Structure 1
Amino acid sequence: MDLNNIDLFALQTTYMKKDSTTKALCKALNPYFIKLSQDVKLALIYSRIDELDVQAVDELAWQMHVDFYDYTLSIESKRRLVKSSLEWHKIKGTPEAVEKASSSVFGNSKLEEWFEYEGEPFFFRMDVDITEQGASPENLKKLDILINEYKNKRSWLEIIRIFLTAKGTMYFASTISSGEEITVYPWLSTETVSKGKLNIATANRFVEETTIYPKREV
């Protein structure tokens, strides 16, 4: 049964389909049931984040207690923050939480603890690819706020290494020039072959002589 295109008459028994009143009721009520099936979807909010408008996503961010949320972000970034909020609350204060939050907003990010690069104890550094977002002062400030929201309280950010990738379109063209030289020498006949058609006729003549004598009466 397709609830989006429900047909009440098709749900009736064979006997009821013969009843004129049933036919009329099904035809009259069908549009209302179709509208009801569409309105039911409005109750599904969290599972339809990718379909919601920006105002609804902003309200969900408040409801889901998203730690870092900027109303100037794109609708795609807002949706990723809301959808991941529950997961990040479970791992908040870990390098994984910082990496995932930063990657969802700015781009591919990696966190290194002090002991991974021989730094000072309790410090860490971040590698962030902000090719898509850009390195404006506003975005760098947002990145700093995001990191502080998801890192643990005893760790301190030492440095953020920014990576930018230049994108462009390159065109390549190629051509092939080729030639061929053919020399035709005078034709010399080295062998003569004569071809023709020969018709041969044959005949066969057979002659038989038969003598019939007058039949005698008995």
Structure 2
Amino acid sequence: MIKYKDAEPASVLPYILSSDTDIASISYAYKKAMKKMIDTSVQTVLYADIDCMDEELLDLMALECRTQYYVESLPIDTKMKLIKNSLIWHQRAGTTGAVNELIDTVLGEGEVVEWFNFGGAPGTFKILTSAKLNDSSLKQFQNIISKVKNMSSSLISVEQSCKIDINLYVGASIVQSMKTVIK
């Protein structure tokens, strides 16, 4: 059986036709062109195989895709998510939805609270998250947010909250007393 990479039109023609020098030349040229096309098509798998890339290729892929919020110091799984979403974020840049998606990707969880929901000045917002941030990661996150947010909006604060699972017991009672007066 002939592999498709090695196939050429002359291999399926009868001997009388395939032995002709013109047909053999055309067949050979076709085989070389197909080989070049097959070799090139293998490279397109790169875009579909982001989950299996090493970190160096991810960095190059981020440059090629112009991934807006990409920083080489991020964890590898975050880099993969950023590259996968870069085209969508280019289309939706400046919207609250894009900022929320970025928060979910980089921090894992959180949300944007706009000015009208907390009584702030028009055009301001804050971010609520339960992710743990230190000073350097907070500055890095603020730089990333400045690239995706609407240019007329201002980030006021990034507020952290923590969830505590405890059992809390509350009790209440009503005591009614009656006075009877005897004469």
Both proteins in one fold, TM over 0.5:
yes
Q: Deviations over 1:122-163 (max 9, x none)?
A: 111111231xxx321111111111110100111111111113
Match of 1:53 in 2: 54
Match of 2:112 in 1: 111
Q: Deviations over 1:21-66 (max 9, x none)?
A: xxxxxxxxxxxxxxxx999644311110001111111101011111
Match of 2:155 in 1: 157
Other structure's SS at 2:112 match: strand
1:139 aligns with 2:161: no
- Between the aligned residues of both structures, percent identity stands at 27
CA contact (8 A) 1:102 1:146 kept: no
Paired amino acid for 1:135 = L
Larger helix share, 1 or 2:
2
Query: 2-side partners of 1:142 and 1:102: how far apart?
Result: 12
CA contact (8 A) 1:54 1:75 kept: yes
1:85 aligns with 2:86: yes
Report the CA distance between 1:89 and its aligned residue: 0.8
Q: Aligned runs of 1:1-218 on 2, under 5 Å?
A: 8=1, 41-130=42-131, 134-164=132-162
Match of 1:212 in 2: none
Query: 2-side partners of 1:164 and 1:105: how far apart?
Result: 18
Query: 2-side partners of 1:45 and 1:102: how far apart?
Result: 27
Q: Deviations over 1:55-100 (max 9, x none)?
A: 1111010111111111111110000000000001111001111111
Gaps of 5+ in 2: 3-37, 166-183
Change (3 A) 1:39 1:128: same
Query: 1-side partners of 2:48 and 2:92: how far apart?
Result: 22
Q: From the CA coordinates, give the structure whose radius of gyration is larger.
A: 1
Query: 2-side partners of 1:62 and 1:164: how far apart?
Result: 36
Paired amino acid for 2:106 = V
CA contact (8 A) 1:114 1:120 kept: yes
Change (3 A) 1:38 1:164: farther
Report the CA distance between 1:164 and its aligned residue: 4.1
If asked which structure has higher relative contact order (CA below 8 Å, sep 6+), I would say 2
Gaps of 5+ in 1: 1-7, 10-36, 168-218
Other structure's SS at 2:160 match: strand
Paired amino acid for 2:96 = P
Other structure's SS at 1:157 match: strand
Other structure's SS at 2:49 match: helix
Paired amino acid for 1:143 = F
Query: 1-side partners of 2:121 and 2:154: how far apart?
Result: 10
CA contact (8 A) 1:111 1:127 kept: yes
**TM-score of the superposition, structure 1-length normalised?**
0.55
Query: 2-side partners of 1:70 and 1:164: how far apart?
Result: 27
